[in-house]
Amino acid sequence: FNDIDLCLRIRAAGFRIIWTPQASLYHLESASRGHEDNPEKQKRFADDKMRMMQRWRSAIVDDPFFNPNLALTSTACLPAFPPRTDLSWYL
């Protein structure tokens, strides 16, 4: 969650995060800390996730770039139920 935390800190400081197609960035997931392949690492991952949500819950819930049709309670990109958006226009 360090990359997300960094972006939220940047935004909270009043700066903008700008995307450019000219940049090539590589995120090597778990390269520095390794995979969560034992109970100690799994606990650390769960603790990091909990701290992230405690600190940034409101920013994450109101994130304009997070699809409101997806659940905030899962990392598996599951549909939000009940939906987090107003569907009255559809009825």
Average pLDDT of span 68-82 = 83
pLDDT at 84: 77
Query: Residue 35 — φ and ψ, nearest 5°?
Result: -80, 160
Question: Which residue is associated with the tokens 């909270």?
Answer: 12
Per-residue pLDDT tens digits for 18-64: 888 998 888 777 777 777 788 888 888 888 888 988 999 888 888 87
DSSP codes joined into one string, 26-73: ---TTTTT----SHHHHHHHHHHHHHHHHHHHHHHHT-TTS-TTB-SS
pLDDT at 91: 65
- Of residues 35 and 78, the one with the higher pLDDT is 78
Q: Which of 62, 69, 65 is nearest to 83 (CA)?
A: 69
pLDDT band at 68 (very low <50, low <70, confident <90, very high): confident
pLDDT at 8: 92
Highest mean pLDDT among 9-13, 42-46, 52-56, 71-75: 9-13
Domain ranges for the chain: 1-17+36-83
Q: How many residues does the chain have?
A: 91
Q: Which of 40, 80, 37 is nearest to 61 (CA)?
A: 80
Instruction: Name the amino acid, one letter, at 54.
Output: Q
Q: For residue 66, what are the contacts with CB-CB under 8 A and spacing of at least 6?
A: 60, 72
pLDDT at 16: 92
